[in-house]
Amino acid sequence: MKNVLTLTLLAIALLFCSCVKEGTPVATQEQSPNRVITIPGNGKTSGSTILQMRIGHNGKNCSGCVMYNGRLVHVNCMGDGNYCGASVSVQLQQIGTAITATTTDTFDLTSEDFFLMPDRSLNYRDEIGNPVFLNIPEQMVYRDTATQQFTFTGLFISDDVVYTND
């Protein structure tokens, strides 16, 4: 009886395996760690925009890259490099060709009152789904004293990578 049950289960498994439709191979492209993620709203709320990127460098090899209280110091997870992963929720605003990004969470990037943003080209999809890049030029930004948010300026869209994201 045990052999009949085993043979029956094997026959059923073989039947299912032979009937499974093979999927069409899909070309996969390695996803960049530097990208824009848009999360649509639910109809009652607007969606979210998240900037995800690799930034910063090891402090052991840094003589200082941020002027703080009159001296150059290293601050983790700021400036050039790919040492840290960072994600920040922002509100993008475009007036003409000028694009700004204002953080919506106070301490996503840092608890400091400043942030050294390295230049980055982030993978993005435009409103009709075409691959483009959201480019953020290097800049030192300071918290707004009232809102405690950072605002990045001078952002622009391009069809190709502008910054090498080192």
Tens-digit pLDDT profile for residues 99-132: 999 999 888 899 999 999 999 999 998 888 899 9
How far apart CA 149 and CA 126 sit, in angstroms, is 26
Residue 57: Cβ within 10 Å count:
20
Tell me what pLDDT residue 151 has.
Answer: 97
Residue 10 pLDDT greater than 50, yes or no: no
Burial of residue 95 (number of CB atoms within 10 Å: 0-12, 13-18, 19+) = exposed
Lowest-confidence pick of 14-23, 58-67, 72-81, 155-164:
14-23
Residue 12: pLDDT band with limits 50, 70, 90: very low
CB 82 within 8 A of CB 67: no
